[in-house]
Chain A
Amino acid sequence: MNTLIEATTTRANPGIDPSLHIWGWEIVVYLFLGGLVAGIFVLAAALELRSGEKPRGPALRLTPFAALALLSLGMGALWLDLAHRLWAWRFYLFFHATSPMSWGAWILVLIYPVGLLLGLGSLNADQRAWLRGKTPGALATLLETFFGWADAGRRGILLTSVVMGVSLGIYTGLLLGTMPSRILWNSAVLGPLFLASGISTGAALLLLLPLDESERKTLLRWDAAAIVAELVLIALMLLGFATSGETGQWAASQFLGGPYTAVFFSCVVVLGLLVPLLLEVVEAKRHLPFATILPVLILTGGLALRWILLTAGQHSAFRFLP
């Protein structure tokens, strides 16, 4: 008798009603590229830390620069999303410890010098010579100074790169995860999940490059680990929702029978995670390289994960609880 049967509101604010739609493709692209770049930082640095030697493939040596370019693209998308674009500099007059967005803004700035040093240090003699040839005389001393820093503190730079990569990856998830008002984002798992997905998509991107065989094998192994981690984290997220109160159960239901079930499980879980994982196992056992299909599936899955979570999350507010 006491069930709510009719609810009407006079509010129809653009972007807010009938359900929140403030963030669109720009943020999806940004979250995706941010994760990807985070992954590249972690992987590139970890590969070198592990082997103790600089990347063998010439392409891999340039990845830090490519990562910075991709990050710039992502930041461009982020900037496009701002409603007050000319006021973007306001991010940099303030640091707010409780705002992931504020952390992110500063991480994005700090990652550039780190990436630059990581990249410069990766270059071999030929590449350095080429770069020196292209550098105007006035900046030549500066370049040499940078080379000096990049080589002298290599281990420190590699470790910093891992830390920065992990920070960036986790932050893209925490950005959503710290909004208690969006029931579907309200999970601490989102940070590690986005990091794992970032590492996986980063690896996928690297796998598209011409690689040294041992590097490829290592990346495949790490990617498989990242995918397993993602699966576990997704399971934990859903489990967390399903075993918590009314709001959490409603959130879980969105993926377990609700409107996002089909797209989430097909695009993210099966095509983006399980199939690539299977292919990696097959490649490892049978030595059958799936050169292009595997990375493309992973990248698509990573993009889908962010797109679905961003959309579903915006549609999950307290007011939609039954």
Chain B
Amino acid sequence: MATSRREFIQIGGAGLGAAALGSGLTTKWWGLDPDVVHDPGTDGDQVIPTFCELCFWKCGVLAHVKDGKVTKLVGNPEHPLSRGKLCPRGTGGTGLLYDPDRLKKPLLRRTGKRGAQDFEEVSWEKALDFTAEKLLKIKKVCGSDKVALFSHGFGGSFFKHLLFAYGSANVTAPSYGQCRGPREVGFNLTYGASLGSPEVLDIAHSRCLTLIGSHLGENMHNTQVQDFAQMIAKGGQLVVVDPRFSTAAGKARYWLPIRPGTDLALLLAWTHVILNEGLYDRDYVEKNATGLEELRAHVADKTPEWAFTETTIAPSTIVETARFIAGSRPASLIHPGRHVTWYGDDVQRSRAIAILNALLGSWGRRGGIFVPTQMSVPKYPVPDYSEKAKAAQDHPDGVIYPFAEEVLSHGVCDATVPGRITGKGCPIKGWIVYGSNLLQALPQRKNVEEAIQKLDLLVTIDVLPAEIVGYADVVLPEATYLERWDDISPVPWSEPYLAIRQQVVPPMYESKPGWWIAKELAKRLDLGQYFPWESGEQLVTERLKAGGHDVERLRTKGVIKGTPVPVRTDEGLELTFATPSKKIELYSKRMADAGLPPLPPYTRHEQPVDGQFRLLFGRTPTHTFGRTTNNRFLSEVYSENEVWLNAKAAKEQGLANGEVVTLVNQDGVRSQPVKLKVTQRIRPDCVFVVHGYGHTNPGLKFAKGRGMDDQTLVTRIAIDPVAGTTGMSVNFVTIEKTAGTAATDRPLSPGGAAASRAEA
């Protein structure tokens, strides 16, 4: 090559020679300047297993730690819920850990009304002393049952324990009364068992999955969506009942854009067809269920033609889908849903779903609903709760919801307002709020704010300044899930396993793990004996050792597994039902005895008038409602919600795609300005938004002012007479153009309307 260099210089002009020389120098020829495969260097020096808390599904993650920083989170291949995969939120845990808006120090309200952002940073000592003093005073003056705990998230276990020790049964979460409660009640009444979280569904093996307003894929529970995709890959079919053309609807064999509020009519009509045409699982029903004849009589007049007038679904479609669904049984699952507090007859609708699943024989069957198993871990020895907890104070108006299995947050909220509580006078005086933004989670915001103003004490334990934090008297900054040990708790699932939540990096700022906060409070409440452990780590390791479990493996691999047992009949499971009749109760005598309809009756719900739209809300795969909307990493792909409106309806309203609008509900309550997504993907009688936006706390520097909060508009609720849960999809809005602009076009605002193109 050396000669060629000389030759070049001699031949061509100096320039050409230089070009050639340059080319040679580059030099793949001489190997001096090779091409490079750059390694971004995000692999950790250490890889520490734990499990996720970006939502409540509890997927196993492996945290890569490099120079003391978490560089990335990946799925733990050994964990049964993640199987090495993660949903988008799971990867985004770093966005929470390194959120610059995190609560960094304990805060104490200086003066002013709750809600005024007037706090001073104080020492933990002072914050805890103040809290304990107030709690002791409430206990002394009004009794221990006048304190309530709202708790959402795995770390809440320490505070539940604290509250029971303190002597209160008011342990509640909106995830029941405002979310999955009616489903659990409906299934419990029918099968004597509920579905829990993670739901015990064998979707991976379903041949037909029917979704009623449940939008898997947008509702991104990792394992469930993995199973969902596996089912599709194997040729399983979908029937999707949804007023909105959801992601799942886009994959469905049948999409039934039902009129909101009429799902029960469709379910009854399907039941009618399946019974009438004898398509149900006779052997299964005969062996396992009671009340078939009553059911048959009940749905005798619930014809597809009748349902058509309610649902707007053509009778032929109802018949066709009923046959299709039944044709795939028993691996045909009517998904029980998760957020099901819609119209106030939600337990009855869940019952109808439970009944239909029974007719298909899907309970306990492959491709249906499995009966979970779990490992056991001995309790850490602590004394019995000395204070005998009185009944929960969640029935202020004296109405007892006979089948409510958990304490109702909405009721606790009511019981906080003086005058509403029946019997003895003292209302609830203290709230401890752990990881639950009640102002976006509970309906009827005015009531919530009124209750808050009546309290003697509001303590929040949180990682970020959610709206509720701005109303607190004391703010206790908790370490994130990556910075703390939590208790260990077996998860009921198809295979028995234990997973560990261990500290990956030390807590940042002055945040503290929940176990420490609870223990310190307990000390000051003279309840120290209930928290004998020195640390979360000690608590967990002692419990594991006592159970004979492999602590080392849990710490290094994150998971240990137990001996599998049959969870479906094809694996050898014998079906048993914990109902009074020991059978599936199609007809519920218990409900009849309680004066409630023993078979699901159809109630016609009010429909919006012209120009009004029913407000529906749901999820986006990248966020866990308001919990993650300040997460800048996750917001890279979805940073603000938008209102979905049918294209034809938009035209009638004179509204265009991307326009900024305000929603005004039937009571005149106005939403924040929000962008409009004009779309073919929704019925013309409803609008849809992703829940969890429209934050107002100035501490949420990223999320504040992005999009709208739907819960503000839920001023009307429909209380379920069976479970006391609050139906919230009963609010109607009109749409106004907004002068000025929404908080759009910020640096980080991709996705959604910003990038959406043409609208026909």
Which residues of chain A have C-beta atoms less than 8 A from B19's C-beta? 95, 106
- Enumerate chain B residues within 8 angstroms of A5, measured Cβ to Cβ: 647, 680, 758-760
Choose from A17, A18, A95 the contact partner of B20 (Cβ within 8 Å). A95
* B679–A6 CB distance below 8 A: yes
Decide if A8 touches B20 in the complex (CB within 8 Å).
no
A87 at the interface (CB under 8 A from B): no
* Closest B residue, CB atoms, query A96: B23
Whether B755 is near chain A, meaning CB under 8 Å from some CB there, is yes
Give the Cβ gap from B684 to chain A, nearest Cβ, in Å.
Answer: 15
Interface presence of B22 (CB below 8 A): yes
Bound-state CA distance A134–B311 (Å) is 95
Closest to A105 in B: B19
Chain A residues within 8 Å of B25, by CB: 93
Determine if B680 and A12 form an interchain contact, defined as CB atoms under 8 angstroms apart. Answer: no
| Cβ contacts B7-26/A at 8 Å (1 or 0 each) | 00000011110111011011
Q: A4-B758, A5-B758, A8-B755 are in contact. Are A92 and B750 (CB under 8 A)?
A: no
B424 at interface (Cβ–Cβ under 8 A)? no
Question: Do A12 and B758 contact each other (CB < 8 Å), given the known contacts A93-B33, A94-B23, A110-B15?
Answer: no
Given A93-B33, A106-B15, A9 contacting B755 (CB threshold 8 A): yes
A139 beta carbon closer than 8 Å to chain B: no
Known A5-B680, A5-B758, A7-B757; contact A12-B33, beta-carbon cutoff 8 A: no
- With a cutoff of 8 Å between Cβ atoms, the chain B residues found around residue A93 in the complex are 22, 25-26, 33
Looking at the complex, which one of B20, B23, B637, B759 makes contact with A10 (CB distance below 8 Å)?
A: B637
- Nearest to B33 among chain A residues (CB) is A93
| CB 8 Å contact bits of B673-703 with A (1 = contact, 0 = none) | 0000001110000000000000000000000
Cα separation A256 to B289 with both chains bound (whole Å) = 73
Whether B26 and A12, one on each chain, are in contact in the complex, defined by CB atoms closer than 8 angstroms, is no
Q: Which of B679, B750, B758 contacts A11 (CB 8 A)?
A: B750
- The yes or no answer to A98 lying at the interface (CB within 8 A) is no
> Is the pair A109, B15 in contact by a Cβ cutoff of 8 Å?
yes
- Measured between C-beta atoms, what is the minimum distance from A71 to chain B in Å? 15
Please tell me if A3 contacts chain B, counting CB pairs below 8 Å: yes
C-alpha gap A130/B637 in the complex (Å): 67
- Give the interface size bracket for A toward B: 20 to 34
B690 to chain A, nearest CB (A): 14
Would A8 and B751 count as touching, CB distance under 8 A?
yes
Interface centre among B647, B755, B756 (most CB of A within 10 A): B755
Q: Which residue of A lies closest to B26 (CB)?
A: A94
| Chain A residues closer than 8 Å to B23, beta-carbon distance | 94-96
Complex: A70 Cα to B681 Cα, angstroms: 57
Give the distance in Å from the alpha carbon of A17 to the alpha carbon of B20 in the complex: 38
A293 to B695, CA, bound (A): 60
Question: Within the assembled complex, what's the spacing in Å between the Cα atoms of A310 and B723?
Answer: 66
With A92-B22, A110-B15: A12-B750 Cβ-Cβ less than 8 Å: yes
Closest to A102 in B: B19
- A106-129 interface mask toward B, CB cutoff 8 Å, 1 = contact, 0 = none? 100110010000000000000000
Once the chains bind, are B22 and A10 in contact (CB under 8 Å)?
no
Please, which residues of chain B bring their CB within 8 A of the CB of A106? Answer: 15-16, 19
Of the candidates A8, A9, A10, A92, the one whose C-beta lies within 8 Å of that of B18 is A92
Chain A residues near B738 (CB-CB < 8 A): none
Interface pair A6/B758, CB less than 8 Å apart: yes
Measured in the bound complex, the distance between the Cα atoms of B647 and A8 in whole Å is: 16
> How many A-B residue pairs lie within 8 Å, measured between CB atoms?
63
- Mark each residue of chain B from 165 to 201: 1 if its CB lies under 8 Å from any CB of chain A, else 0: 0000000000000000000000000000000000000
B579 at the interface (CB under 8 A from A): no
A34 to B22, CA, bound (A): 24
Interface centre among B23, B638, B756, by most A CB within 10 Å?
B23
Is B592 close to A, CB under 8 A? no
* B680 x A6 contact (CB < 8 A): yes
Task: Knowing A5-B760, A7-B756, A12-B750 are in contact, say whether A94-B22 is a contact too (CB < 8 A).
Answer: yes
Please report the C-alpha to C-alpha distance between residue A9 and residue B755 in the assembled complex, in whole angstroms. 6
- Measured CB to CB, the closest approach of chain B to A153, in angstroms, equals 12
- Residues in B whose Cβ lies below 8 Å from that of A96: 23
CB distance from B556 to the nearest CB of A (A): 36
Tell me the minimal C-beta distance from A142 to chain B in angstroms: 15
Question: Chain A residues with Cβ under 8 A from B749's Cβ?
Answer: 12
Who on chain A is nearest to B753 by CB? A8
Q: How far is the CA of A70 from the CA of B717 in the complex (A)?
A: 74
Query: Can you list, as one digit per residue, whether each of A74-106 has a CB less than 8 Å from chain B (1) or not (0)?
Result: 000000000000000000111110000000001
Complex alpha-carbon distance, A15 and B23, angstroms? 30
CB <8 Å contact, B26 and A3: no
Contacts of A109 in B (CB 8 A): 15, 18
Tell me, yes or no, whether B143 is within 8 Å of chain A by CB. no
* Chain A residues whose CB sits within 8 angstroms of the CB of B754 once the complex forms: 12
- The docked-state distance in angstroms from the alpha carbon of A10 to that of B751 is 4
Q: Nearest chain B CB to A137's CB is how many angstroms away?
A: 25
Report A88 CB to chain B, min CB distance, Å: 13
Instruction: Tell me which residues across on chain A come within 8 A of B507, comparing CB atoms.
Output: none
| Nearest-CB residue, chain A, relative to B750 | A12
Q: Is B752 an interface residue (CB 8 A)?
A: yes
Q: Which of B18, B22, B647, B755 contacts A18 (CB 8 A)?
A: B755
Cβ-defined contact, A8 with B752, below 8 A: yes
Q: Which of A7, A9, A95 contacts B22 (CB 8 A)?
A: A95
In the complex where A93-B33, A95-B20 touch, is A12 in contact with B679 (Cβ < 8 A)? no
C-alpha spacing A110/B25, complex, angstroms? 19
CB distance from A98 to the nearest CB of B (A): 13
A residues 260-291 with Cβ under 8 Å of B? none
Q: State A4–B756 Cα separation when bound (angstroms).
A: 12
Q: Which of A4, A17, A94, A110 has the most CB of B within 10 A?
A: A94
B193 to chain A, nearest CB (A): 40
* B residues in contact with A95, CB < 8 Å: 19-20, 22-23
Residues of A within 8 A of B759 (CB): 5-6
Near A by CB (< 8 A), chain B positions 22-36 give 22-23, 25-26, 33
CB contacts (< 8 Å) of B637 on chain A: these are 10
Instruction: Name the CB-closest residue of B to A322.
Output: B758
* Nearest-Cβ distance from residue A117 to partner chain B, whole angstroms: 12
Kindly state the separation between the CA atoms of A4 and B13 in the bound complex, as whole angstroms.
56
Q: Contact between B755 and A11 (Cβ–Cβ < 8 Å)?
A: yes
Q: Which of A3, A6, A110 contacts B681 (CB 8 A)?
A: A6
Chain A hits for B756, CB < 8 A: 6-8
- Partner pick for B757 among A3, A6, A113, CB 8 A cutoff: A6
Residues of B within 8 A of A17 (CB): 750, 755
- Tell me the bound Cα distance from A4 to B759 in angstroms: 9
The answer for the CA separation of A91 and B241 in the assembled complex, in Å, is 60
Residues of chain A within 8 A (CB-CB) of B679 are 6
CA distance A18 to B750 in the complex (A): 10
- Please report the C-alpha to C-alpha distance between residue A273 and residue B22 in the assembled complex, in whole angstroms: 42
The smallest C-beta distance from B552 to any residue of chain A, in angstroms, reads 42
A12 engages B757 (CB within 8 Å): no
Task: Determine whether the beta carbon of A3 is less than 8 Å from that of B755.
Answer: no
Complex alpha-carbon distance, A93 and B27, angstroms: 8
Q: Distance (Å) between the CB of A40 and the closest chain B CB?
A: 20
Closest-by-CB residue of A relative to B657 is A6
Q: Which of B449-479 contact A (CB under 8 A)?
A: none
* Chain A proximity of B12: nearest CB distance (Å): 10
A109 to B21, CA, bound (A): 14
Q: Complex: how many Å from CA A157 to CA B32?
A: 37
21 CB contacts below 8 A, A to B, read A3-B760, A6-B758, A8-B752, A8-B755, A8-B756, A9-B751, A10-B638, A10-B755, A12-B751, A12-B755, A17-B750, A93-B22, A93-B25, A93-B26, A94-B22, A94-B23, A94-B26, A109-B15, A109-B18, A113-B14, A113-B15
Known: A5-B758, A92-B22. 20 other contacts (CB 8 A): A3-B760, A4-B758, A5-B647, A6-B680, A6-B681, A6-B756, A6-B759, A8-B751, A8-B756, A9-B751, A10-B638, A10-B750, A10-B751, A11-B755, A92-B18, A93-B25, A93-B33, A95-B20, A106-B19, A109-B15
In the complex, the 5 A-B pairs of residues with the closest C-beta atoms, listed nearest first = A12-B750, A110-B15, A95-B23, A95-B19, A5-B760
Binding site for B on A (CB under 8 A): 3-12, 17-18, 92-96, 106, 109-110, 113
